[in-house]
């Protein structure tokens, strides 16, 4: 097994997931495709935490590019020992993984809080508030209560769907970065490639 190829595969996966996180977060600003709620500040406060754009998105692109670039690194490294450079690169990828873990963790936490609190909406009394904040997330199991939000239309479905997507994507990113921590440590200790022939063919 070549640890560098594994890292590169994880990097490509993280890049795709990061773009999906950014897209999902951007959609949260436009319930039903309308822009006026963002300009009027009638969006959930957790939308403004940029969990998908920053946490699951931009912060995830850094480790993704590091992992993708690992396989192109020069095999000859320090002290005249072949494959030493690769070992150092694999160990340094662990630091990038930790950044990814922090970013994805932030994305997961904010998405979970956004789901638990529910959206900011106009209720039947004509007031803008967090109608489901006191339910401690129980509203997610009782869809009949979602009609309490009259505006934006279908905002509960919009928020639940997109925050759930961010929660899932952030969770997958977290797992992939955790896998790369293990992969990076093993690659740094055992060498970039377990096969001796692969080491000299790099």
Tell me the backbone φ, ψ of residue 7, rounded to 5 degrees: -65, -40
Residue ranges of domains in the chain: 2-73+80-201
Task: Report the range out of 37-41, 53-57, 197-201 with the highest average pLDDT.
Answer: 53-57
The torsion angles phi and psi of 124, rounded to 5 degrees, stand at -70, -15
Asked if pLDDT for residue 167 goes beyond 60, the answer is yes
Per cent of the chain over pLDDT 70 is 86
Cα 5 to the chain's mean position, in Å? 22
Predicted confidence band of residue 95 (pLDDT cuts 50, 70, 90): very high
User: What is residue 199's predicted lDDT score, i.e. its pLDDT?
Assistant: 43
Beta bridge partners of 122: 128, 151
Q: What is the pLDDT of residue 3?
A: 82
- Per-residue burial over 151-177, b if 16 or more Cβ lie within 10 Å, else e, is ebeebbebbbebbbbbbebbbbbbebb
Residue 79: how many CB atoms within 10 A of its CB? 5
* 134-165: pLDDT as tens digits: 999 999 999 999 999 999 999 999 999 999 99
Residue 51 near residue 18, CB atoms below 8 Å: no
């Amino acid at each position: 097994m070549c640890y560098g190829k594994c890292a590169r595969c994880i990097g490509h996966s993280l890049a795709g997931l990061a773009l999906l996180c950014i897209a999902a977060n951007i959609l949260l600003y436009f319930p039903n495709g309308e822009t006026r709620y963002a300009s009027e500040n009638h969006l959930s406060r957790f939308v403004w935490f940029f969990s998908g754009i920053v946490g699951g998105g931009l912060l995830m692109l850094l480790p993704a590019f590091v992992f993708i670039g690992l396989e192109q690194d020069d095999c000859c490294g320090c002290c005249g020992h072949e494959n030493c450079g690769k070992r150092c690169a694999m160990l340094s990828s662990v630091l990038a993984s930790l950044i990814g873990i922090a970013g994805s963790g932030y994305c997961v936490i904010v998405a979970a809080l956004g789901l638990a609190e529910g959206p900011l909406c106009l209720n039947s009394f004509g007031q803008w508030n967090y109608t489901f904040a006191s339910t401690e997330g129980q509203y997610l199991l009782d869809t009949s209560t979602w009609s309490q939000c009259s505006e934006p239309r279908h905002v509960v479905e919009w928020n639940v769907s997109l925050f759930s997507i961010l929660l899932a994507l952030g969770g997958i990113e977290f797992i992939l970065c955790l896998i790369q921590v293990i992969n990076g440590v093993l690659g740094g200790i055992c060498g970039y490639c377990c096969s001796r022939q692969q080491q000299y063919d790099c």
